[in-house]
Amino acid sequence: MNKAGLIVNVCAIVLDYRGAAKTEVCLSSLIGERISRVLVVDNSSDSLASSALQLSVERVRKVADFEILVLDSHENLGFSKGINSAIRFDQESVNPHEAYFLLNNDAVVHPGVVTTLIAELGDSDGVGLVAPVILNASGGRQGLIWYDRYFGLQSVTRSPRSFHFLSGCCLLVSTKVLKDGRLFDTSFFMYGEDAQLGWRMKIEGWDIRCIDRCVVNHSAPGSSVQGSLFYEYHMVRAHLLLALRTWHHPAEIPLMFSAKFLWLTGRAIVRSIRYRSPIPVVALFMGLLPLAVRKP
């Protein structure tokens, strides 16, 4: 960062899980966006998928105005560890960057988004995270999200028990908010890590902003499918972990955990009926344990 507070070096991080075609479109949308390097974390743990990704990346390299490096994790690290590993790689490189632009591989940025976010992030020393509005396939818009600590409900409006966070789908992050060189709590494999980051920003006194004039298209649902064991397990696990991470006083923990589990039980029953499958109920009880559910 220069003396005027302007961020001049930005590294983008994109995770890929057997989605080379989506990743190619995503990377192409970053051309002309003031990014000097893109790190693509290959979580596929599959040789055919990795080969397809290399071909897609090579096509973008021919026209890109930034460096692209593919980091093969040789396993599915999940979101938190995948992002943290890329940040660590960059921070240990010869020319580490001042900010990281996180983008889902099934998302596409509108022209000028990153440039605008860079200006917003450098606008104040107290701003740690900035994000655009996320436009989903059905036309819904997502900005700041309020998370109820006791029942796990998400809303666009504040409640007495809630705190706000920004979706990990697309974030510009200052290196100032890294903790021991990491951004996310790696207890979260998939889902919930962005909410926990929002809580950490609140506790540490950082400001977070959603910039309404910036838009990113997000096709969703990505590599996971609602109703699948992967999705249901990690969603339950994320909510339960958040009950253990978002307290003001330790005495809140049993109350939060009990309220969260009661709400999740009702959710699981409704979803089992909806999908005509026992998986949501099974995942509810599996979510009490740190299991290695790695494949969507």
Q: 233 and 186 in one domain?
A: no
Which residue carries 């969703």 as its tokens? 220
Token representation of residue 241 = 């972990």
What's the pLDDT at 140?
87
- What is the pTM (predicted TM-score) of this model? 0.93
Averaged over 281-291, what is the pLDDT? Answer: 95
Q: 184 and 236 in one domain?
A: no
Mean pLDDT value across the chain: 93
4 lies in some domain:
no
What's the pLDDT at 45?
87
59 lies in some domain:
yes
* Domain count within the chain: 2
Q: 99 and 37 in one domain?
A: yes
205 lies in some domain:
no
- pLDDT confidence band for 4 (50 / 70 / 90): very low
149 lies in some domain:
no
Indicate whether 227 pLDDT > 90.
Answer: no
At residue 206, φ and ψ (nearest 5 deg) are -85, 145
Indicate whether 8 pLDDT > 80.
Answer: no
Q: 70 and 120 in one domain?
A: yes
150 lies in some domain:
no
Q: 171 and 31 in one domain?
A: yes
Token representation of residue 158 = 């504040």
Q: 171 and 77 in one domain?
A: yes
CB 221 within 8 A of CB 234: no
Question: Using CA atoms, how far apart are residues 182 and 87, in angstroms rounded to an integer?
Answer: 7
Indicate whether 239 pLDDT > 60.
Answer: yes
CA-CA distances (angstroms) from residue 1 to 6, 67, 207?
Answer: 6, 20, 18
User: What residue numbers bound the domain in which 274 lies?
Assistant: 229-286
At residue 225, φ and ψ (nearest 5 deg) are -120, 130
Closest CA to 7 of 172, 136, 193, 133: 172
Query: Between residues 3 and 174, which one has the greater pLDDT?
Result: 174
Percent of the chain clearing pLDDT 90 (strictly above)? 85
Question: Using CA atoms, how far apart are residues 140 and 124, in angstroms rounded to an integer?
Answer: 30
- pLDDT confidence band for 295 (50 / 70 / 90): confident
Question: Using CA atoms, how far apart are residues 12 and 99, in angstroms rounded to an integer?
Answer: 8
What's the pLDDT at 151?
94
Q: 233 and 122 in one domain?
A: no
Q: Which amino acid is at 283?
A: A
What's the pLDDT at 125?
82
Q: 115 and 24 in one domain?
A: yes
114 lies in some domain:
yes
State the number of CA atoms in the 13 A half-sphere of 94 facing the CB: 0
CATH code for position 90: 3.90.550.10
| 37-92 tens-digit pLDDT | 999 999 998 999 999 999 999 999 999 999 999 999 989 999 999 999 999 999 99
Q: 178 and 262 in one domain?
A: no
DSSP conformation letters of 13-67:
EEEESS-HHHHHHHHHTTTTSS-SEEEEEE----HHHHHHHHHHHHHHHTT-SSE
Question: Using CA atoms, how far apart are residues 201 and 187, in angstroms rounded to an integer?
Answer: 17
CB 37 within 8 A of CB 48: no
Indicate whether 3 pLDDT > 50.
Answer: no
Q: For residue 261, what are the contacts with CB-CB under 8 A and spacing of at least 6?
A: 240
Sheet of 162-165: strand order equals 154-155, 145-148, 162-165
Closest CA to 176 of 144, 199, 206: 206
Question: Using CA atoms, how far apart are residues 292 and 263, in angstroms rounded to an integer?
Answer: 24
Question: Using CA atoms, how far apart are residues 112 and 33, in angstroms rounded to an integer?
Answer: 6
277 lies in some domain:
yes
Q: 109 and 52 in one domain?
A: yes
State the number of CA atoms in the 13 A half-sphere of 182 facing the CB: 14
161 lies in some domain:
no
| 144-168 tens-digit pLDDT | 999 999 999 999 999 889 999 999 9
- pLDDT confidence band for 5 (50 / 70 / 90): low
Indicate whether 274 pLDDT > 80.
Answer: yes
Averaged over 161-184, what is the pLDDT? Answer: 95
What's the pLDDT at 2?
43
Q: 112 and 241 in one domain?
A: no
CB environment 206-216: b (16+ within 10 A), e (fewer)? bebbbbeebbb
Domain boundary among 143, 176, 192: 192
Percent of the chain clearing pLDDT 70 (strictly above)? 96
Q: 126 and 237 in one domain?
A: no
Averaged over 84-106, what is the pLDDT? Answer: 95
Indicate whether 119 pLDDT > 60.
Answer: yes
- pLDDT confidence band for 122 (50 / 70 / 90): confident
